[in-house]
A and B are shown apart, each in its own frame.
Chain A
Amino acid sequence: MSIQSCVTIINEWDIVAARQLGRNVAKELGFGTVDQARITTAISELARNIYLYAGKGQICIDKLYEGGKPGVRINAIDNGPGISDIRQVMEDGYSTSGGLGAGLPGVKRLMDQFVIESNPEEGTQITATKWLR
């Protein structure tokens, strides 16, 4: 079972909207402040990647229930240029825009599950999940 709501990312303020949505969902499910911060930070990173590299995309937040255990799933989808070398972007310190290069590997560490799919034709889809412990 899942309940979904989405935010379209076009400008910088949409990142804040996506973050807010994620924080509300996390709060509703009973995540503590530390996990709320982890989830919102992960959303922030993913949304910013969409804004910086793809220009336009969507962040969807799902409530999940698996075996009675609730969780939050973040889905970041864009039709941007795609990532040519996924292994490289998952390395700490790699950035094409002069940033810290901690975004994607950071998100992987912040969340429990992390799946990335990308190709130049369809763009990028990242799914990251955090379970309530």
Chain B
Amino acid sequence: MNKMIFEFIEAHKLEMLNEWMKTTKDENDDRVVRVVSDQVFNSTSREFVDLIIANIKGTKDDYHSRLKEFAERVVRLGWPLTFVSKGLHTFGVIVFERMEEAGAITIENQRKIFREFDEWLTRTNIEIIGIYAATWEKTVSLQKIALQELSAPLIPVFDRITVMPLVGTIDTERAKQIMENLLKGAVKHRSEVVLIDITGVPVVDTMVAHHIIQAAEAVRLVGAKCMLCGIRPEIAQTIVSLGIDLTQFTTKNTLQKGIETALELTNRKIVNVEGQN
């Protein structure tokens, strides 16, 4: 970018910084300013202006990595993207106004200066947006992995009895996992009874029911019996209204009852032992 602009920024750094901080605070509602403490706000703003100045002194790579570092820190501080993007714009406006006042911009050079400055501003903006987006994407993909790990656990509770507790919404992706884990686990643990607990499933619509029916059918094919537990009264009513046929299922309203029945089916029961105390 034009050397003159940078020299101008460097010379008027402090006053522009103060003006920028004042405008930004006035323009933004308390929401943002409250999130950011004064001290952090001031030091980060100063760093930002320093960063811009470093642009002339340092090489392009150096600037790029410093900008990246800066943007990452701003993301960590939780500054909203709109706030940062708007701040950059405000900075540009202040620089131009100041340069105009000082007579550094003339009719002859204004187009050239404007174009160069705008190009630099846009590049910085794109960079910051890119880093924000990358951070979000990373968070989303990590959460996706975390969610997948939680999505369909199969727990062997007794010999030949396994439980799959389902919590939360079931979508197509998850339904696929439920089916896979159920079959893999049933074979691996040599299950005779597999209990699916839907206490934590908020809505059982025809798709969810369809997936559960299919899973149960598949479990039957590998030689185990599938039982559905945790049907809340309101879910029972909606299933009846929807006209979903679950007659080939054994269903229980709690997991406890389901496990008792499963023990019965495998010819066992839980007994109290005589205490010695």
Q: Could you list which residues of chain A lie within 8 angstroms of chain B, going by C-beta atoms?
A: 12-13, 16, 19, 33-34, 36-38, 40-41, 44-45, 48, 92, 99-103, 105-106, 109-110
- Interface pair B233/A34, CB less than 8 Å apart: yes
Question: Nearest-CB distance from A46 to chain B (Å)?
Answer: 10
Given A12-B172, A41-B242, 9 more A-B residue pairs with CB atoms under 8 Å apart are A37-B237, A41-B205, A44-B205, A100-B213, A102-B206, A105-B243, A106-B243, A109-B241, A109-B242
- Interface pair B169/A106, CB less than 8 Å apart: no
- Interface pair A38/B241, CB less than 8 Å apart: yes
Q: Nearest 10 A-B pairs (CB), nearest first?
A: A106-B242, A37-B234, A44-B205, A34-B234, A109-B241, A41-B238, A100-B206, A102-B206, A12-B171, A110-B241
Between A and B, 12 residue pairs with Cβ closer than 8 Å are A34-B237, A37-B203, A37-B235, A41-B204, A41-B205, A41-B242, A45-B205, A100-B209, A100-B210, A103-B205, A106-B241, A106-B244
Which residues on A sit within 8 Å (CB–CB) of B241?
A: 38, 106, 109-110
Question: Nearest-CB distance from B167 to chain A (Å)?
Answer: 14
B202 at the interface (CB under 8 A from A): yes
Which residues on B sit within 8 Å (CB–CB) of A40?
A: 202-203
Q: Could you list which residues of chain B lie within 8 angstroms of chain A, going by C-beta atoms?
A: 169, 171-172, 202-207, 209-210, 213, 233-235, 237-238, 241-244
Which residues on A sit within 8 Å (CB–CB) of B206?
A: 45, 99-103, 106
Closest to B235 in A: A37
CA gap between A117 and B207 in the complex, in Å: 23
- Interface pair A44/B243, CB less than 8 Å apart: no
Question: Nearest-CB distance from B192 to chain A (Å)?
Answer: 28
Closest to A108 in B: B241
Task: Give the total number of A-B pairs whose CB atoms are below 8 A apart.
Answer: 64
Main secondary structure of the interface of B (DSSP, over half): helix
Which residues on A sit within 8 Å (CB–CB) of B171?
A: 12-13
Residue among B171, B204, B238 with the highest chain A CB neighbour number at 10 A: B238
Main secondary structure of the interface of A (DSSP, over half): helix
CA gap between A29 and B232 in the complex, in Å: 22
CA gap between A45 and B239 in the complex, in Å: 12
Closest to B205 in A: A44
Once A16-B169, A45-B206, A48-B207 are accepted as A-B contacts, the answer to whether A109 and B233 lie under 8 Å apart by CB is no
Partner pick for A102 among B203, B237, B242, CB 8 A cutoff: B242
- Interface pair B172/A33, CB less than 8 Å apart: no
CA gap between A103 and B209 in the complex, in Å: 11
Question: Nearest-CB distance from A120 to chain B (Å)?
Answer: 25
Which residues on A sit within 8 Å (CB–CB) of B233?
A: 34
CA gap between A38 and B239 in the complex, in Å: 9
Which residues on B sit within 8 Å (CB–CB) of A99?
A: 206-207, 210
Closest to B210 in A: A100
Closest to B208 in A: A44
Which residues on B sit within 8 Å (CB–CB) of A19?
A: 202-203
Partner pick for B203 among A12, A34, A44, A109, CB 8 A cutoff: A44
CA gap between A99 and B234 in the complex, in Å: 23
Question: Nearest-CB distance from A16 to chain B (Å)?
Answer: 5
CA gap between A92 and B233 in the complex, in Å: 23
Which residues on A sit within 8 Å (CB–CB) of B244?
A: 100, 102, 106
